Amino acid sequence: MSLYRCILTALFLVAAIAPPATSLSVDFGARAQIPSAEQAEEPEPAINPVADGSDDVAIADRLRGIFREIEGLQDVAVSVDAGVVRLSGPIADTASAARAEAIAQRVSGVVTVESQFERDLSVGNNVEPVVDKFGDSLQSFLSALPLIGVAFLAAIVIGLLGHFLASRMGFWKRVTPNIFLAELISGFVRILFIMVGIFVGLDILNATALLGAVLGGAGVIGLAVGFALRDTVDNYMSSIMLSIRQPFRANDHVRVGDQEGRVVRLTSRATILMTLDGNHLRIPNATVFKAEILNFTRNPQRRFSFELGVDADDDPAAAIETGLRAINSQDFVLDDPEATAEIREVGDSNILIAFHGWIDQRDSDFKKARGAAIRVTKNALEESGFALPEPIYRLRFDNGPPQLKDLSGSLEATDGGGGKPGRVHAKEEFDVSPEDHVEKLVDSERSDDGSADLLDDQQPVE
319 within 8 A of 386, measured Cβ to Cβ: yes
Which residues, other chains included, contact 226 with Cβ-Cβ below 8 Å and sequence gap of 6+?
233
DSSP for 207-261, written as a single string: -HHHHHHHHHHHHHHHHHHHHHTHHHHHHHHHHHHHHHH----TT-EEEETTEEE
283 within 8 A of 259, measured Cβ to Cβ: yes
90 within 8 A of 75, measured Cβ to Cβ: yes
Q: What was the pLDDT predicted at 417?
A: 39
pLDDT at 382 over 50: yes
CATH class of 53-121: alpha beta
Q: Which candidate, 132, 111, 98, places its Cα nearest to that of 51?
A: 111
Q: What was the pLDDT predicted at 114?
A: 86
Domain 301-409 indexed as CATH 3.30.70.100: yes
42 to 112, 118, 184, 216, 226: CA distances (angstroms): 17, 34, 64, 40, 52
334 within 8 A of 318, measured Cβ to Cβ: no
93 to 28, 127, 416: CA distances (angstroms): 10, 12, 124
Dist CA 357 CA 303 (whole Å):
6
Express as a percent the part of the chain with pLDDT over 70: 72
pLDDT at 35 over 80: no
What pTM value is reported for the model? 0.53
Domain boundaries, the chain: 53-121, 128-228, 301-409
264 within 8 A of 250, measured Cβ to Cβ: yes
Q: What was the pLDDT predicted at 31?
A: 41
- The whole-number average pLDDT for the span 231-252 is 85
Q: Which pLDDT band, with edges at 50, 70 and 90, does 437 fall under?
A: confident
- The whole-number average pLDDT for the span 17-37 is 42
Which residues, other chains included, contact 88 with Cβ-Cβ below 8 Å and sequence gap of 6+?
76, 77, 79, 115, 116, 117, 118
Q: How many CB atoms lie within 10 A of CB 193?
A: 21
- The whole-number average pLDDT for the span 306-335 is 92
Evaluate whether 53-121 and 301-409 have a shared fold. Answer: no
Q: Which residue has the higher pLDDT, 230 or 43?
A: 230
pLDDT at 77 over 80: yes
Mean pLDDT for the chain overall: 77
Q: Which pLDDT band, with edges at 50, 70 and 90, does 78 fall under?
A: confident
